[in-house]
Amino acid sequence: MKYIEKRIENFKLLKNEIENMNKAVSILVEAFRNENKVLFCGNGGSASDCNHLACEFISKFKKERKSLPAISLCANNSIITAIANDYTFDDIFKRQIEGLGKKNDVLFAISTSGKSKNIIEAIKQAKKQGMKIIFLTGKNKTNLNTDCEINAPSDKTEQTQELHIAIGHIICEKTENNF
């Protein structure tokens, strides 16, 4: 029972991030309306969330609408392993952003700790290219140069991941309602 109660408490705390979630929606809606795309990046379970959320934009979340341009930078094993082999694992997203990202596109980065080196490098590269950055992370705020940081109110990885997919679904639904 204590496991469920803790998760209920975490979800109730999400109300503190409503303003940041609305800001993320505004960034995405503006990008999609201006024919820009969103690039997702994350590691492990966050990589799975990236694939999932990109799918929600490309296909649909709840309603019929035009496809919205989204790419998960976690989805192509050949690209990831080539970059990790030829450069370093820290560059796996940075190199993809360099090749795919354009000014006013959006990087949607996900990291439960907020400290993943390859995510930090991706954020730096996206900023260098004039992209907007949404950063979905854990409980502690970071000092990274992003346009919108959303903090899941938990310091436990698995609970942060549970909150991340809920936040992602909220953002998808609210974004989709604009199209």
What pLDDT, in 10s, does the model give residues 92-133?
999 999 999 999 999 999 999 999 999 999 999 999 999 999
C-alpha distances (whole Å) from 11 to each of 114, 146, 158 are 20, 24, 13
Mean pLDDT throughout 19-35? 98
Predicted local confidence at residue 2, as pLDDT? 86
Instruction: Give the H/E segment covering residue 154.
Output: none
The CATH number of 2-176 is 3.40.50.10490
Residue type, 12: K
Q: Where are the domains of the chain?
A: 2-176
Predicted local confidence at residue 134, as pLDDT? 98
At 3, is the pLDDT very low, low, confident or very high (cuts 50, 70, 90)? Answer: confident
What pLDDT, in 10s, does the model give residues 145-171?
999 999 999 989 999 999 999 999 999
**Model pTM?**
0.97
